[in-house]
C-alpha cells in the first residue's frame, strides 16, 4: 500500500472520496462486453425445454414470464411453487468474441450478483463456482475464450438442498439453531447455513421464495494493464486549518502484466472551480491510499434531510497508460460531512446519539426490508425512488437497511445521498445463530470486503451493524442453547468481531462506526465481551420493543431508551390491494383460510382484533361492511399506536429520569415497505398504497410538534418538541376542549412559549378533570367520555406544527356522534396532476379516510380529525385522470359510520 501526503496532490485527490456511484468506462484498448439480455433456460432434467430467461433476472420472474407459473404473489402460489427452488436450473447463451478482445493480457468474466450456488462454464469448461449472493465474482477466462462464437452456461444448484446438505454436515459437530422457522411462516429450513437473503426462506412478514438466478449485471472485461475496481473515500474535519481531510483508497484490479508507466488523474468539480491532479502509479501497486485537504470554503456541507442541503461533488478518477493506450474511469460523488456516534457517560449509563457536523440529531425514520422478495426486482429504479421519496417527504432522516434482506443497489444508496437519508446498514445476518467454520468465515470475509468497498464511501452511510437481534437471541436463549452458551458465544465473536468487524475496520481504516448487533448496549456491549448481560438495557445503545398484550395507546407502558431502532404493530392492507392477491372478497375475513395463510406472525390476527376491540366497536361479522371495517380500524389502531410511541420518544430527547432512562435520540419504527399482500407492520403496502400510518408519519415526524398524554397522576401533560437548529420565540400553543357534539370548542387556553433548538419542553401539566370541569363536560367518567382535547401551535397566526389531540377515554366508550362528511368539490389545480378536494361536515368527524380506489396517488392528509366545518385536502395522482373520473372514484368514511 502506497501513501501519498503531498499537499498539492492532496488538493487534487480531494476528490475520490465518498464513492457514491460507480461505473467503469472503457475506451481505447480497454474492452467490455455485456452478457445481459436473453438467455436460454432449462432445468437439469430437461423438463422445461424452450424457455427463455432474462439477465439480470431470476427463476421465479422467468417462470412467470414463460407462463410456467402464474403470478406467484397471488393466491397460494408461495405453497404450490415450492418445487421451484428444489430444482437445478441452467442458464445458457451464445456470444461472439472478437480477435481484438482475445488479444488482451487480462480477460475476466464478472458477475455482480449470482444467487447463490452455481457452477460457471465457458465452452463447456468449468471456470468457477459461486456460494455467496452478496459478492462480486471475477473469473479469469483469458485462456477459455475463442474468436467467434462462445457459450456460457451457469448451472444453479438447489439452494434448499444445499442448505440441507450443509446442515447435515454441521450436525456432526453440533446443531446451530434455528433449524426451521415457525410453522406459520410456511418457510424453508437451514437458511442460516447459506449466504443469501435470509428472508427468501420466509419471514413473519413475507413469503418463501428461495431465489435463484443471475440477479445483477454480467460482463466480460478485457485489459492489458489494469482497471479501477473501487474508489473508497472518507472525510474528516480539521477545524484548526479550516479544511476537510479527505482519505481515498483506489483499488486496482490484479494484472498479469507488469506496468511501469501507469498514471492516475483525479478531477473534482467544487464550487466555482475544478481541481485536477495527476500522479504516477508505482509498479505492482493495487491499493493506493491518498490523504488530501480541501478548504471548507470551496464546498458546501452535506446535511441530513431537514437540516440543510445535501450537496455532492463529482469526482472522476482516471487510470491510463501511455504504453497500452488504456483508460479506466470511475466516477463518485463526495459528500462533505462528519458523523459521530456519541456514547458518553449519562446518568446510570451511556448516551447513544448521532452527531452530524457537530450537531446532535434526533433520528427519525423506519426499517426498510428488501425492496422486493425477488432480488432482481429490487433493482427497479422507479420503485426505489418512490420509496425513498416517500421517506424524504415524511420528514425521515434515517432508514435502517435490515439484516435479513440484501445490501441494496448502488442506485438506492445514490438516492439516499441525494435526499439526505442516512442509512443504518446491517450486515446480512438476522434472528439466528450462525456457523463459525473456516469455509463459512472465509465466505463472509469476501462478502464484508466487497460490501465495505462498495458502500462505505457513501455520505448517507451512518453506521454498520453486525447483525439483527442475534446478541439478544444468544443472551436471552431464544434457541435453548444456554447449556452451551460459551460455545455459541465463541462462535458469535469469531463471526461478528474477529471477522466482520476486523475486515470492516481494515477496509475503512477504523473510520466507520460499527456496533456488533442491533439491538445492543453499544459501547457497554463491547466492555462486557461483545455479548452484554442485558442487550436491551434502556440506559445503553438501541432497543427493539414489541408488546401486543398491553394497551398500545398508553405511553406509560413504553420503555424510554437511548435509541429506539425497532417498534411496531400490524395492520391490514386496503381492499384494492388485497384484491390483487385474490379475486374472491370472501377470502378476506380476518380468520379465513387465505388471510390466516398470509398471516405469518404467530397469533397475529388475534392481536390485530384485540387491539381494535380495545378502542372500537366492530360491526357484526354478517354486516356487509365487516371486512372493510376490520381493514380500516386495523390501520387506525396501528397509526395511533406508532404515533403515540414515536411522540413519546421525541418528548424524551430532553428528559433524563432519576432512574437513568431518557435522552432518547432516535425513533425508527418497523416497517416501511412490504414484499407481498398480507397483514404486516408496514406503512406502505405491496401495491404501493399508503396505509394510514404512512400519512401519520408526516405529522409525528414533523420538525416541530405539539403533543400530549395523560400521565399516571391523571394529569394532562402537553409538550412542544423542536428539531430546529435555532431557538423559536413566541409560539402560541392553543389547548382546546371540544365536546363530541359540537364544532365549537367549549374552552380554549393560549400559552405563549419559547422553545430551545433541538429540545422538548413541557408547557402544561394539569389534572385532566379540572380541565374538563372547566369545559362543563360533566363529572367523573362521563366527562372523559363527552370531551376530548385538541392541540395546535402557531406563530403570528401561521401554523407551526400539525394539529394534535388527546382522548381522555377509550374511543369506544366516548360519546362520539355521527357526522355527515361530504365531498363538495373536486378541482384540478395544476398540470402535474394535483387536485383540491373540499370536505364539509356538520359535526366532529373522527378518522376521516379518503380513498381514490382504482386511481393511484396519495393525499396531502388522511385519517384525520375534522373539527372545522370546511377543510381542503390535496390529491396527487400518479396517472392521467380528470375531475369527473376522480369525483366518481372518491369515497370518504369516518369511524362512526364504519362501526355500525
Catalytic residue among 221, 324, 408, 566: 566
Please give, one letter per residue, the 3-state secondary structure of 548-606.
CCCCCCCHHHCCCCCCEEEECCCECCCHHHHCCCCCCHHHHCCCCHHHHHHCCCCCHHH
Burial of 672 (0-12, 13-18, 19+ CB in 10 A): buried
How far out from the chain centre does Cα 23 lie? 24
| CA-to-CA separations, 859 to 40, 144, 386, 575, 826, in angstroms, rounded | 45, 58, 15, 17, 13
Under 8 Å CB-to-CB from 19, ≥6 apart: which residues? 230, 231, 232, 233, 330, 332, 454, 456, 457, 458
Distance CA 497, CA 517 (A): 10
Nearest to 33 by CA among 73, 87, 119, 93: 93
- The closest of 225, 166, 213 to 192, measured between CA atoms, is 166
Write down the catalytic residue from 188, 469, 717, 785.
469
- Is 469 among the residues known to form the active site? yes
Dist. CA 687–CA 557, nearest whole Å: 34
Please enumerate, as own/partner, the contacts of 774-780 that have beta carbons within 8 Å and a separation of 24 or more.
774/737, 774/747, 775/737, 775/739, 775/746, 775/747, 776/746, 777/737, 777/739, 777/746
- 8 A C-beta contact, residue 119 and residue 126: yes
C-alpha dihedral (531, 537, 542, 545), degrees to nearest 10: 110
User: Which residue bears the cell 435453548?
Assistant: 480
Run of H or E residues at 507: helix 502-508
Cα Rg of the chain, angstroms: 29
**CA–CA distance, 754 with 414 (Å, rounded to integer):** 39
Q: Name the residue among 202, 199, 184 with its Cα closest to residue 601.
A: 184
CA angle 108, 111, 113 (to 5 degrees): 165
Q: Report phi then psi at 464, rounded to 5.
A: -110, 135
What residues act catalytically? 469, 566
Amino acid at each position: 500500500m502506497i501513501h501519498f501526503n503531498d499537499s498539492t496532490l492532496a488538493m487534487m485527490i480531494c476528490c475520490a472520496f465518498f464513492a457514491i456511484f460507480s461505473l467503469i468506462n472503457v475506451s481505447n484498448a480497454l474492452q467490455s462486453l455485456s452478457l445481459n439480455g436473453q438467455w436460454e433456460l432449462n432445468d437439469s432434467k430437461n423438463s422445461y425445454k424452450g424457455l427463455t430467461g432474462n439477465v439480470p433476472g431470476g427463476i421465479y420472474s422467468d417462470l412467470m414470464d414463460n407462463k410456467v407459473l402464474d403470478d406467484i404473489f397471488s393466491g397460494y402460489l408461495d405453497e404450490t411453487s415450492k418445487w421451484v427452488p428444489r430444482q437445478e436450473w441452467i442458464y445458457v447463451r451464445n456470444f461472439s468474441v472478437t480477435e481484438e478482445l482475445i488479444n488482451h493480457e487480462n480477460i475476466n468474466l464478472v458477475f455482480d450478483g449470482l444467487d447463490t450456488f452455481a457452477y460457471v462454464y465457458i465452452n463447456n469448461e468449468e471456470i468457477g463456482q459461486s456460494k455467496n449472493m452478496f459478492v462480486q465474482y471475477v473469473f479469469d477466462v483469458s485462456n477459455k475464450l475463442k474468436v467467434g462464437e462462445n457459450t456460457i452456461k451457469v448451472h444453479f444448484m438447489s439452494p434448499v438442498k444445499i442448505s440441507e446438505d450443509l446442515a447435515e454436515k454441521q450436525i456432526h459437530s453440533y446443531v446451530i439453531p434455528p433449524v426451521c422457522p415457525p410453522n406459520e411462516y410456511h418457510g424453508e429450513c437451514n437458511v442460516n447455513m447459506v449466504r443469501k437473503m435470509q428472508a427468501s426462506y420466509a419471514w413473519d412478514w413475507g413469503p418463501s421464495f428461495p431465489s435463484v438466478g443471475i440477479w445483477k449485471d454480467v460482463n466480460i472485461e478485457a485489459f492489458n494493464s489494469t482497471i479501477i475496481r473501487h474508489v473508497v473515500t472518507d472525510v474528516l474535519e480539521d477545524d484548526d486549518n479550516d479544511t476537510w481531510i479527505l482519505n481515498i483508497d483506489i483499488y486496482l484490479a490484479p494484472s498479469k502484466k507488469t506496468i511501469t508507466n501507469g498514471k492516475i488523474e483525479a478531477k473534482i468539480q467544487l464550487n466555482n472551480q475544478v481541481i485536477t491532479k495527476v500522479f504516477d502509479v508505482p509498479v505492482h501497486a493495487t491499493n493506493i491510499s491518498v490523504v488530501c485537504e480541501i478548504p471548507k470554503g470551496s464546498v458546501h456541507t452535506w446535511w441530513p434531510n431537514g437540516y440543510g442541503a445535501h450537496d455532492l461533488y463529482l469526482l472522476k478518477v482516471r487510470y491510463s497508460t501511455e504504453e497500452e493506450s488504456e483508460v479506466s474511469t470511475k466516477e463518485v460523488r463526495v459528500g462533505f460531512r462528519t458523523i459521530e456516534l456519541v456514547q458518553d457517560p449519562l446518568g446510570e449509563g451511556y448516551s447513544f446519539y448521532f452527531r452530524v457536523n457537530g450537531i446532535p440529531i434526533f433520528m427519525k425514520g423506519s426499517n426498510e426490508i428488501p425492496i422486493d422478495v425477488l432480488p432482481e426486482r429490487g433493482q427497479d429504479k422507479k420503485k426505489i425512488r418512490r420509496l425513498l421519496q416517500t421517506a424524504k417527504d415524511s420528514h425521515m432522516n434515517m432508514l435502517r437497511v435490515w439484516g435479513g434482506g440484501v445490501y441494496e443497489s448502488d442506485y438506492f444508496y445514490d438516492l439516499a445521498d441525494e435526499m439526505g437519508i442516512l442509512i443504518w446498514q446491517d450486515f446480512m445476518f438476522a434472528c439466528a445463530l450462525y456457523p463459525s467454520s473456516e469455509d463459512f468465515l472465509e465466505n463472509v470475509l469476501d462478502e464484508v470486503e466487497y460490501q465495505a468497498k462498495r458502500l462505505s464511501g457513501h455520505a448517507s452511510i451512518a453506521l454498520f451493524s453486525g447483525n439483527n437481534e442475534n446478541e439478544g437471541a444468544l443472551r436471552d436463549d431464544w434457541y435453548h442453547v444456554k447449556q452451551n452458551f460459551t460455545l455459541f458465544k465463541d462462535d458469535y465473536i469469531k463471526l461478528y468481531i474477529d471477522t466482520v468487524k476486523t475486515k470492516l475496520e481494515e477496509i475503512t481504516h477504523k473510520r466507520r462506526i460499527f456496533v456488533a448487533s442491533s439491538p445492543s448496549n453499544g459501547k457497554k456491549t463491547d466492555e462486557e465481551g461483545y455479548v452484554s448481560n442485558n442487550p436491551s438495557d434502556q440506559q445503553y445503545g438501541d432497543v427493539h420493543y414489541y408488546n401486543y398484550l398491553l394497551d398500545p395507546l398508553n405511553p406509560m407502558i413504553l420503555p424510554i431508551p437511548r435509541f429506539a431502532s425497532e417498534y411496531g404493530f400490524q395492520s391490514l392492507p386496503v381492499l384494492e390491494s388485497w384484491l390483487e392477491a385474490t379475486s374472491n372478497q370472501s377470502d378476506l375475513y380476518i380468520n379465513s383460510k387465505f388471510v390466516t395463510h398470509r398471516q405469518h406472525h404467530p397469533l397475529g390476527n388475534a392481536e390485530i382484533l384485540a387491539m381494535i376491540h380495545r378502542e372500537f366497536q366492530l360491526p357484526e361479522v354478517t354486516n356487509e361492511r365487516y371486512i372493510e371495517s376490520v381493514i380500516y380500524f386495523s390501520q387506525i389502531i396501528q397509526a395511533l399506536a406508532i404515533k403515540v410511541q414515536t411522540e413519546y420518544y421525541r418528548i424524551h430527547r430532553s428528559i433524563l429520569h432519576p432512574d437513568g432512562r431518557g435522552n432518547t435520540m432516535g425513533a425508527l419504527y418497523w416497517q416501511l415497505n412490504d414484499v407481498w399482500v398480507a397483514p404486516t407492520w408496514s406503512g406502505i403496502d405491496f401495491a404501493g398504497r399508503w396505509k394510514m400510518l404512512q400519512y401519520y408519519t408526516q405529522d409525528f415526524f414533523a420538525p416541530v410538534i405539539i403533543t400530549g398524554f395523560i400521565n399516571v397522576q391523571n394529569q394532562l401533560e402537553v409538550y412542544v418538541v423542536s428539531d430546529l437548529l435555532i431557538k423559536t420565540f413566541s409560539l402560541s400553543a392553543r389547548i382546546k376542549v371540544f365536546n363530541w357534539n359540537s364544532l365549537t370548542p367549549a374552552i380554549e387556553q393560549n400559552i405563549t412559549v419559547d422553545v430551545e433548538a433541538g429540545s422538548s419542553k413541557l408547557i402544561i401539566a394539569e389534572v385532566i378533570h379540572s380541565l374538563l370541569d372547566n369545559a362543563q363536560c360533566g363529572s367523573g367518567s362521563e366527562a372523559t367520555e363527552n370531551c376530548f382535547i385538541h392541540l395546535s401551535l402557531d406563530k403570528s397566526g401561521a401554523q407551526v406544527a400539525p394539529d394534535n389531540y388527546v382522548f381522555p377515554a377509550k374511543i369506544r366508550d366516548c360519546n362520539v356522534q355521527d357526522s355527515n362528511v361530504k365531498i363538495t368539490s373536486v378541482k384540478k389545480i395544476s398540470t402535474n396532476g394535483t387536485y383540491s378536494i373540499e370536505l364539509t361536515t356538520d359535526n366532529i368527524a373522527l378518522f376521516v379516510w379518503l380513498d381514490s380506489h382504482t386511481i393511484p396517488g396519495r393525499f396531502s392528509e388522511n385519517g384525520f380529525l375534522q373539527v372545522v366545518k370546511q377543510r381542503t385536502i390535496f390529491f396527487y395522482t400518479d396517472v392521467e385522470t380528470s375531475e369527473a373520473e376522480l369525483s366518481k372514484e372518491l369515497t370518504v368514511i369516518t369511524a362512526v359510520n364504519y362501526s355500525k
